[in-house]
A and B are shown apart, each in its own frame.
Chain A
Amino acid sequence: MSGVVLDGVSKRYGAVTVIDRLSLTIAAGEFVVFLGPSGCGKSTLLRMIAGLETVDGGEIRIGARRVDHLAPGARGVAMVFQQYALYPHMSVRENMAFGLRNAHVPADEIDRRVAAAADALEIMPLLDRKSTQLSGGQQQRVAIARAIVKQPDLFLLDEPLSNLDAALRMRTRLEIAQLHQRLGTTMIFVTHDQVEAMTLADRIVVLNQGGIEQVGSPMDIYLTPRTEFVASFVGSPKINLLPVTVEAAGEMTRVRLANGAIIDTAVAAADLPAGAMTLGLRPECIRPAALDGAPLAARVQVVERLGERTLLHVVLDDGTPIVAEDSGLSAVRPGDRIGLAVQPERAHLFDADGLGHHPAQRG
């Protein structure tokens, strides 16, 4: 079990820089998720750690060892591919044993490890099938089992759930979490799905355009997004972003929307730079309220009932769309005109550089 250190690593394809002097430290046993939109460089970064991409600058260390000059097979890592990449002409057993044979693990040890991994992933009955004769979910399990038998220092998972259907994805997600708990091995998991990131990660690394936007625990990322990008990428439904001007600054900051409405926030005014700002409000901190006295008035367009809560898609008088939230038993109906109340302590402000300003954390 080893930690991983990325020290100023860069990757260029010709004139295009895809990873620019990126540094990151991952603790031993940690479950880290690389999260970002497609093309942000998260897979490239993972493949650089695996050794599948060359490193154009900087260092990569796994444990105490510098690995960026080592062949992939010598780095002590195992990887689960998005398309599983099982060897089509080999049986499940051979697939799992292949890497161990290459490492000259004794035959009885191989048998033992294969059996253990197969048992853990409940693929015992499949061991002698050809990998092409398996369903997608079965292939996924074999791919994970193939990684496990190697007892690597580091697991790399490249969007491993994206080819599964919703039910299977949930189940496998849970299993991966359990696996991590059981093995305690360091894992790096690449995804563009923020739900997977939130549910699995000890820490999330949000990547954008070849650089790190923010590193933090899921709740850090969610509650105090460092940038407007992070705020808008994490969270479903998406955070509402509204252009505002700072109206009054005191202990708290009061902002004015384009339509003239005034909203109070709990952001400390002292921290704020001058100029135009963007107000970030997650749907769950906008609630329907009586029309009188509410800071905002809006017309309901769509009511989305999710059971335990209800999402209200509304438009302000000037046509700005907003998503608000109500309880599961909401009585609001499409076409209603309602007032909206805002929780000031959950409001975020983003300055012209996209940097976030958040209310001081309580407690």
Chain B
Amino acid sequence: MASLTPRRRRATDWTNALFVLPYLIVFVAMIVVPLAWGMWLSTTKSDLFGTEGFVGLTNFVRLFGDPIFLQTVWNTFYFVLLTVPLLAVLGLALALVLNRQARWAAVLRTIFFASTVLSVTVVTLVWRLVFLPDSGLLSVVTRALGGTPIAFLNDETLAMPAIAITTIWWCIGLPMVLFLAALQQVPRALYEAAALDNASRWRTLTRITLPAIRRTFALVIIIEVILQFQLFGQPQLMTLGGPNNATRPIVLFIYETGWRQWELGYASAAAQVLFAMILIAAMVQYWLSSRREAR
């Protein structure tokens, strides 16, 4: 009898895994296998129609000697630095102000979310029209104010910030909604206690609200880091990576080498580097937030 118990327990454990099995099958088929395939490709000379041969780490060596690739790495980091902190902070600010049940708040929530529903094609088209120095919205306004219109997208230093603004306009809905969901779960009693303690708005924010939504904050940062590292459509459609490569991100590099130059092996190597970068960035962020939590 006694031996029955452990055997039965192990059987149950395996049936428990049935809950995760359907997802794991898709995960393996659509992520693990393709990723392994990509890793293998990155060690070959291939195009989309076949593999010419194994080349070892040649592709990686070539990558790190390729000034264009190195610039795309820097561009990508620069873009992430421009957008992620702003998305998180603005998203939180919006959520804080709009976290109430008044009708105006609901309307504003919808407005701030509306741009998220547009596809990248439309977003970039609109913002190209906004940034155009000749007849764009900004230039019309600048001229009306007596200034000289600036060619944002044609300026090496301003093009990336312009893309960042476009991206923030487009993506602000996601962090806002995530923060709203988190704020609505902060127990009301905490605010009541703070009010009784005569805490100022600022103190309530920093001592009550922020600690309560700390995990969401970390979540938003990780999600946005992952998303923004994969910048692609905006520069592809707004600047083609220019001027002078100032806005060419890694994914655009991967796309151009893989699909346009047919150098699949080389593109795969760049994709592996991007994967490693995202992984490291996400882990650093995770480590930072969990360390803060532990303290």
Extra contacts, 5 of them, besides A54-B5, A69-B4, A69-B8 (Cβ < 8 A), are A54-B9, A55-B5, A57-B2, A68-B5, A69-B5
Minimum CB distance partner of A68 in chain B? B5
Give bound CA distance, A69 to B8, whole Å: 9
CB-defined A-B contacts under 8 Å, sample of 8: A54-B5, A54-B9, A55-B5, A57-B2, A68-B5, A69-B4, A69-B5, A69-B8
B184 to chain A, nearest CB (A): 14
> Whole-angstrom distance from the CB of B5 to the nearest CB of chain A?
6
Measured CA separation A55–B4 after assembly (Å): 12
A57→B3 CA distance, assembly (Å):
10
Chain A residues in contact with chain B, CB under 8 A? 54-55, 57, 68-69
Chain B neighbourhood of A69, CB < 8 A: 4-5, 8
Interface string of B1-21 (1 = CB under 8 A from A): 010110011000000000000
Q: What chain A residues lie within 8 Å of B5 (beta carbons)?
A: 54-55, 68-69
Contacts of A57 in B (CB 8 A): 2
User: What is the minimal beta-carbon distance from B127 to any residue of chain A, in angstroms?
Assistant: 43
Provide the residues of chain B in CB contact with A54, threshold 8 Å.
5, 9
Which 3 interchain pairs have the tightest Cβ spacing?
A69-B5, A54-B9, A69-B4
Cα separation A54 to B9 with both chains bound (whole Å): 9
Residues of A close to B2: CB separation below 8 A: 57
Q: How far is the CA of A345 from the CA of B7 in the complex (A)?
A: 56
Nearest B residue to A66 by beta-carbon distance? B1
- Please indicate the chain A residues that have their CB under 8 angstroms from the CB of B9 in the complex: 54
User: A93 CA to B5 CA in the complex, in Å?
Assistant: 36
CA distance A69 to B3 in the complex (A): 11
Specify the chain B residue showing the minimal Cβ separation from A58.
B2
A164: shortest Cβ distance to chain B, in Å?
17
Q: Which chain B positions have C-beta within 8 A of A55?
A: 5
Q: In whole angstroms, what is the CA distance A160 to B71 when docked?
A: 64
Contacts of B4 in A (CB 8 A): 69
Give the docked Cα–Cα distance between A54 and B5 (Å): 9
- Distance from B79 Cβ to chain A, minimum over Cβ atoms (Å): 43
A355–B87 Cα gap in the complex (Å)?
A: 67
Q: Which residues of A contact B8 (CB under 8 A)?
A: 69
B8's nearest neighbour on chain A, judged by CB, is A69
Chain B residues lying within 8 Å of A68, measured Cβ to Cβ, are 5
A55 to B8, CA, bound (A): 12
CB distance from B190 to the nearest CB of A (A): 18
Question: Among the interface residues B2, B4, B5, B9, which one has the most CB atoms of the partner chain A within 10 A?
Answer: B5
Report the bound CA distance from A69 to B1 in whole Å.
10
The docked-state distance in angstroms from the alpha carbon of A68 to that of B4 is 11
CB distance from A59 to the nearest CB of B (A): 8
Report the minimal beta-carbon distance from B6 to chain A, rounded to whole angstroms. Answer: 9
Output the nearest chain B residue to A55 by Cβ-Cβ distance.
B5
Bound-complex Cα distance A227 to B185 (A): 48
B5's nearest neighbour on chain A, judged by CB, is A69
* Min distance, Cβ A23 to any Cβ of chain B, angstroms: 16
CA distance A357 to B4 in the complex (A): 45
**How many angstroms from the CA of A55 to the CA of B1 in the assembled complex?**
13
Min CB distance, B204 to chain A, in Å?
25
Q: CA A117 – CA B130 in complex, angstroms?
A: 68
**Complex CA–CA separation, A10 to B237 (angstroms):** 67
Query: Which chain B residue lies CB-closest to A71?
Result: B12
Bound complex: CA A54 to CA B10 (Å): 12
Q: With both chains docked as a complex, state the minimum distance between the C-beta of A42 and any C-beta of chain B, in angstroms.
A: 23
B185 to chain A, nearest CB (A): 13
**Complex Cα spacing A68 to B8, Å:** 12
Q: In the docked arrangement, what's the CA distance between A55 and B5, Å?
A: 9
The minimal Cβ–Cβ distance linking A159 to chain B, given in whole angstroms, is 22
C-alpha gap A68/B5 in the complex (Å): 9
| Distance in angstroms between the alpha carbons of A57 and B1 in the assembled complex | 11
